[in-house]
Amino acid sequence: MGKAFKYMFGIGAAIIALGIAVFLIFTYWEKILSYTAAGARVATNILGSLAGNTSEDKDPSDYYDI
C-alpha cells in the first residue's frame, strides 16, 4: 500500500511540475525568444570577430547589440 502511494505521489508531482513548466513557458514566451535572439546576435558577433569579420565593417550599430 505504501509503494502505491509513493508511485501515485510521484506521478502527481510530475504532472504538477509539467503544468507549471507549461504555464511559465506560455507566460514568458516573448522574453524567452528575445533573450535567445539577443544571445544569438552576440554569439554571431563574437564568432565573426574571431574569424576576422567584424560587425563594425557592416553596421556599427549592431556590434554586440544586446
The series of mean pLDDT values per 10 residues for the chain, 66 residues long, is 90 97 95 93 84 62 58
DSSP 19-49: HHHHHHHHHTHHHHHHHHHHHHHHHHHHHHH
The values of phi and psi at residue 29, to 5°, are -60, -40
- Please tell me the predicted confidence (pLDDT) of residue 18: 97
- Please tell me the predicted confidence (pLDDT) of residue 62: 58
- Please tell me the predicted confidence (pLDDT) of residue 61: 61
- Name the pTM for this structure: 0.55
| Consecutive H or E run containing 6 | helix 2-27
Q: Are 55 and 48 in contact (CB under 8 A)?
A: yes
- Please tell me the predicted confidence (pLDDT) of residue 45: 81
| Other C-beta atoms lying within 10 Å of the C-beta of residue 41 | 16
Q: Where are the domains of the chain?
A: 20-66
- Please tell me the predicted confidence (pLDDT) of residue 48: 80
